[in-house]
Structure 1
């Protein structure tokens, strides 16, 4: 368990940070928010790379920082593995040499995955003899992850590790990050402003704005809230945990969730694979009667549980319950009036199979 409470100001009239939150014993906690909201400042203070004006950081009962008591452990004693935007590999060492450097920094007696295990986990076997200059950006980040893990840290800190990569390289590295999350058994504090990374990796979310914590909690719960800045995004929507159930006669993949089944375009994952699906509010339509003769295959009985203001003029969010699962639909105020939509009304939620392009591995 990581406990963080920090206050810091850059200059007399500069940016001010005042944030407090907790991180679970294992899994990924994402610090999410726009550029300049304080994410990297928090990470630097936890790592010991920044001395805040005041604060307290405690990791599994060990006090890393307590300004009131004059405690501030140096970075090398905090046992935090840090991965930055740029991999910061040693250019004169091979991939194996960079990994061995991390291994040499592990404290005596510390437990964790060994060299061969990390190489296999991150798919580095074919790269061991190469120098960093001969690696792609995604490959360099995988080596940086391996080096950090081999140092046997108690906490992994990742400061936008995919920000410098293009979309293709990000897609290449994300599965390795998910495997690392599952295999490491460590708390991971992950800084990002990319929602797709939150969807794919995060167990918990700390939502930041202007140096303050707006909300913290489970990712699925926070994405369903319409009172947070996440709802103002055009890709706003809910996350739905589901499981690959097989293939229907038409070749579509069945995705089972608590409350029903969705059909998606064909997926490569085997039956039983757990996935997390972002259903964007803009992709959900509603009907007051069960529709027929549509190309849309996903037609689900739902109940409107609430109607809240949307992010644009004349827009509203319908909060829909499908069994225990929640969806959001972004519709116009005109639709609400014309269809007589109100909390408690039974409707049908319509989703095209081709819209499910935001899938990430679930825990």
Structure 2
């Protein structure tokens, strides 16, 4: 069992200074999220040993790769790295690229078989092709497979979808989700895409100008209402739901701890987990149930806190739905009219649900 990931780095470049002290879980996907220039890639490169951060510290559980005067070279770290560009060897076919990863690990220490990794990432039929014969998404999946066959104790991924068009991104995301479910190694994933965060993250780190603005379990961070406007403008939470059943008029019913959500018909069988995102702008509030409305989704909630937004006349309301957080963006006039305040029980009306698939 891995322990926590500890990363403390300071990199001073004059016009930019990275100064972070992070503790990340030793399992699941931790996403470093922020705008360009916030320090995401610098942190990842420092973790890999590619960026010099004097007096820095980086460890996974009891394994320390950097501390004080100790610095383990890149090639001696049990770390897999996937960059924006696939960086496959152009003169080798996919199979031989993957075998290069395997050869770096003694037989007795290999944790993955080439066939299993190729199957998981959907590249078995591509093994005899040259990199030049692959699409961008296929090349990136091959690069991920090669990194995994190094038997890393941690996988670092630097915006692996950034160089892909929308179609290729949607092609590769399900494979990343499958890898997330099936592998028991921690992943640190750099992204500036809210969609990737919502689909992949277990733990979220928000970065701005080289500093950590927030760090914690995904919804604990997403549901905060004290974040800078640059992060709060796209406020919303992610709910893990389960398909509960089908209804007439092509409606699927999803269950989460806070109640039931109805969405356009889905093909997944009952019991299938589905992750969805609910934006604060798509949640309205009512003091009592509203039977005469076109809004299908209405759940009970309690007001936790209220904060102003960067938009004059609007506020952000944090709600608790049976332990699940929810955010609503409403006008200050509505807040006063309904006397919305912490502790008030009300109804949250969810106008739109974004299924993450």
Match of 1:54 in 2: 55
CA offset at residue 218 of structure 1? 0.3
Cα distance in structure 2, aligned partners of 1:243 and 1:291: 25
**Could you tell me how far apart the structure 1 residues matched to 2:231 and 2:142 are?**
36
Distance, in Å, in 1 between the alignment partners of 2:33 and 2:333 is 33
Structure-to-structure mapping, 1:212-361, within 5 angstroms = 212-229=211-228, 232-352=231-351, 355-359=352-356
Instruction: Kindly state the Cα deviation for residue 225 of structure 1 after the two structures are TM-superposed.
Output: 0.4
- Report the alpha carbon displacement of residue 105 of structure 1 after superposing the two structures with TM: 1.6
Answer whether contact 2:262 2:297 (CA < 8 A) is retained. yes
Q: Which range moved further: 343-352 or 45-54?
A: 343-352
1:213-245 CA-partner distances (Å, limit 9, x unpaired): 122110011111011237744431112221111
* Cα distance in 2 between the residues matched to 1:119 and 1:335: 54
SS of equivalent residue, structure 2 residue 220: helix
- Partner SS state of residue 109, structure 1: helix
RMSD: 1.6
**How far apart, CA to CA, are the structure 2 residues paired with 1:39 and 1:258?**
33
Q: With structure 1 as the length reference, what TM-score do the two structures score?
A: 0.93
CA contact (8 A) 1:232 1:311 kept: no
Instruction: State how far apart, in whole Å, the 1-side matches of 2:226 and 2:178 are.
Output: 33
* Distance in 1, Cα, partners of 2:48 & 2:301: 46
Write the distance in 1 (CA, Å) between the matches of 2:316 and 2:271.
32
In 2, Cα distance between the equivalents of 1:230 and 1:177? 30
Shift of 1:138: 0.7
Unaligned 5+ segments in structure 1 are none
Shift of 1:289: 2.9
Secondary structure of the residue aligned to 2:196 is helix
Structure 2 partner of 1:200: 199
Structure 1 position 313, deviation (Å): 1.0
Q: Secondary structure at the match of 2:109?
A: coil
Q: Please give the residue correspondences for 1:129-148 in structure 2 after superposition, counting only pairs within 5 Å.
A: 129-148=128-147
Contact 1:96 1:129 in 2 (8 A): yes
Q: Tell me the secondary structure at the aligned position of residue 89 of structure 2.
A: coil
Aligned to 1:5: 8
How many residues are aligned here?
A: 354
- Mapping of 1:67-146 within 5 angstroms? 68=68, 70-146=69-145
Match in the other structure for 1:37: 38
Specify whether residues 40 and 207 from structure 1 end up closer, same or farther in structure 2 by C-alpha distance, changes over 3 A only: same
1:157-168 alignment, distance < 5 Å: 157-168=156-167
Normalization by structure 2: what TM-score?
0.95
Structure 2, unpaired ranges of 5+: none
> Within 2, Cα distance between the matches of 1:5 and 1:31?
14
How far does the alpha carbon of each residue in 1:120-139 deviate from its partner, in whole angstroms, 9 at most, with x for none?
10011111111111111111
SS at match of 1:54: coil
